[in-house]
Amino acid sequence: MDIATLAGLGIGIVLVFWGMLSSAGGNMQIYINIPSILITGGGTLAATMISFRLNQVMKAMKLFQIAMQEKLPDPSEIIGTLVALAEKARKEGLLALEEEAERLNDPFFKKGIQLVVDGTDPQLLKSILETELLFMEERHKTGRAVFETMASFAPAFGLIGTLIGLVAMLVHLDDPKKVGPGMAVALLTTLYGALIANLFCLPVANKLKLRSSQEVLLKEVIIEGILSIQAGDNPRIVEEKLKSFFAPEVREQFERTRESQERVIPLRQTREA
């Protein structure tokens, strides 16, 4: 589970509720209005479903769940695995990697090694893997766009609710008992829309964008490593080439663990929406 996301969401909710309790003298019921919830939440969901296909909306929710629950493989783990494969290929030949490929749980990594074992032309291998990477990015962009769209619609429906509440208030301006409920709808829909957009949808979209860029980087490292293995590069050269993709702290981490960890470590499987 992604701790930063849970912590940020929890802190945001706690602070907002604390502010509500403080300003309302402990009476939270004044911030609960069913019509406002239906106008803002229902309207946002309806507009999003109009904008996308149902399966795209469902995949976006699944993508969010995966991003929150599953961790990406450790970069030093990927480098170590690729260097170990390079050493094995250099000593025993590319066909010896077939057994190692079966130990890999990452479908993308496993597919690349199997293509090498099958003797696929380097340019064709690179094209296949980059095409798969491209379509993965497109799927991620679609999932991210769902949350960005929800973030844009939520304040808009908050404004619509505000207008509805103002109309109801003005129509019954001569009846003081009905002015209050109309004003509540007018103000609370704006509040709900702002909370949905800024406390959930936009942060989730940013989180998915960050995770997608990290996953793409790891896949690019795998492609570069596989091509280097196929070309017969020296394992030390492969290691230096792959470390150049990452920040200095990642390189230092790899140096600290390279002697103490097993070279070939099956990567954790990461599901894709």
Q: What is the pLDDT of residues 139-165, one digit of tens each?
A: 899 999 999 999 999 999 999 989 888
What's the pLDDT band for 216 if we cut at 50, 70, 90?
very high
Other CB atoms within a 10 A radius of the CB of residue 71 amount to 11
Count the helices and strands in the chain (H runs, E runs): 12, 0
Q: What is the DSSP string of 161-209?
A: HHHHHHHHHHHTTT-HHHHHHHHHHHHHHHHHHHHIIIIIIHHHHHHHH
Kindly list the distances between the CA atom of residue 252 and the CA atoms of 9, 58, 75, 264, in Å, as whole numbers in the listed order. 32, 40, 11, 19
Read off the tokens for 143. Answer: 């999932």
Q: Are 258 and 79 in contact (CB under 8 A)?
A: no
Over range 161-186, report the average pLDDT. 80
Give the Cα separation of 264 and 258 in Å (integer): 11
- Assess if residue 83 is contained within a domain: yes
Using alpha carbons only, what angle is made at residue 138 by residues 136 and 144, rounded to the nearest 5 degrees? 105
Largest CA distance in the chain: 91
Per-residue pLDDT tens over the stretch 47-106: 999 999 999 999 888 888 877 776 788 888 888 899 999 999 999 999 989 888 888 888
- Assess if residue 3 is contained within a domain: no
Over range 23-37, report the average pLDDT. 82
Q: How many residues does the chain have?
A: 273
What's the pLDDT band for 183 if we cut at 50, 70, 90?
confident
Over range 111-121, report the average pLDDT. 93
Read off the tokens for 61. Answer: 């929710």
- Assess if residue 23 is contained within a domain: no
Question: Phi, psi (5° rounding) for residue 193?
Answer: -60, -40
Report the percentage of the chain scoring pLDDT > 70.
92
- Assess if residue 8 is contained within a domain: no
- Assess if residue 16 is contained within a domain: no
- Assess if residue 81 is contained within a domain: yes
Q: Residue type for 36, please? A: S
Tokens 């604390």 map to which residue? Answer: 18
Helix 43-51 × helix 54-69 angle, to 10°: 110
What's residue 126's pLDDT? 94
What's residue 1's pLDDT? 58
- Considering its fold, how many domains does the chain have in total? 1
- Distance from the Cα of residue 48 to its chain's centroid: 19
- Assess if residue 5 is contained within a domain: no
Higher pLDDT, 198 or 20: 198
What's the pLDDT band for 263 if we cut at 50, 70, 90?
very low
What's residue 264's pLDDT? 45
- Assess if residue 18 is contained within a domain: no
Over range 189-197, report the average pLDDT. 93
| CB within 8 Å of 136: residues ≥ 6 apart | 215, 216, 219, 272
Read off the tokens for 231. Answer: 């070309």
Structural domain range at position 240: 33-257
Report the percentage of the chain scoring pLDDT > 90.
45
Q: Residue type for 265, please? A: I
Give the Cα separation of 17 and 27 in Å (integer): 11
Read off the tokens for 185. Answer: 């709808």
Alpha helices in 70-175 (DSSP H): 75-92, 97-102, 107-117, 122-171
Per-residue pLDDT tens over the stretch 236-256: 899 889 988 888 877 777 777
